[in-house]
Chains A and B, each alone.
Chain A
C-alpha cells in the first residue's frame, strides 16, 4: 500500500474512533451525521486514489451538499439519508 493511501486511511480510522468516543456525550443526531460524513470521507479517499466511480462521486456530492441538515432540519436530513441509501443500494446492485 502506498504511504499516502496508508496516511489517508489512518486519518479515517482516527476519525471513526474519536467519533465513537465523542458520540457518547454528543447530541443523538450527531451519530447518523458522523456515519454519513464517514461515507463521504471514504468516497473522497477512493477518488483521491484514482478509483473513479461516477455514481459514488455523485453520492458524495449529495452528502456534502446536505450533511449539515443534521443540525438544523431533522426531516430534510432524514430525506437526504433515504436518498443516499437508495442510491447506494442501486450502486451496489449494479457493480
Chain B
C-alpha cells in the first residue's frame, strides 16, 4: 500500500473479528516500530506482544480505554535504564520514541488490513504487574488490534488553513 494512502485512510478501529493474527505478522509490526526514529539512537522502548486470551481479558479489565476483546495487544514500554542516559529530557524523549514507534506500527498494520487503536487509558503499574515487567520497564502506551469487524466512520479534521503557517505565525 502506498504510504500516503495508508496515512490518510488509517482509522482507530474498536471492533474486531475473533480471527487470530499470525506471529510472523506481529513480528513485522514490531519490526516497523523498531525502525522509528529515536533520540541519539537510544532505542529506549521494549515491546510486549500479548495474544493470550486470558491475559488480554485481564489487561482489558484495568484498561478503561479498551472497549472490546482484540486479537492482540502490543504494550510499548519505556526502559528507565536507557531513559536516564538522555538527561533531564529523557522521560519526554522516551514518550516521543514510544509515540513514533506506535505510529509506524499503526501504519504497518493498516497496510496489511489489520485494524488498531492506541490506548493510554490503562493503569500503568497494574499492567506492569500483569506483564511481569522488571523494575524500570514501564508500560507507556498500548495498541489493540485485530482484523476489523466494522469500518469506522471518518472523524472531522481541522482544515489545513486553520493549522498551517508558512514562515511565520499570522493572525487568520
Contacts and interface: CB of A to CB of B under 8 A. Distances in A.
A57 interface: no
A22 B123 contact: yes
Interface in A18-41: 18-19, 21-22, 26, 30, 34, 37
B63 A11 contact: no
Contacts of B155: 72
Nearest to B156: A72
Given A72-B155, A72-B156, A15 B121 contact: no
Interface residues of A, number: 14
A15 B156 contact: no
B121 A30 contact: yes
A11 B64 contact: no
A11 B123 contact: no
Question: Secondary structure at chain B's binding surface: helix, strand, loop or mixed?
Answer: loop
A54 B64 CA distance: 26
Interface residues of B, number: 13
B60 A18 contact: no
Contact of B126 (A10, A11, A18, A34): A18
Interface in B36-72: 57, 60-64, 67
A11 B121 contact: no
Contacts of B57: 11
A16 to B, nearest CB: 9
Contacts of A14: 61-62
A26 B122 CA distance: 11
7 contacts: A10-B61, A11-B60, A11-B61, A15-B61, A15-B62, A26-B121, A72-B156
Interface of B: 57, 60-64, 67, 121-123, 126, 155-156
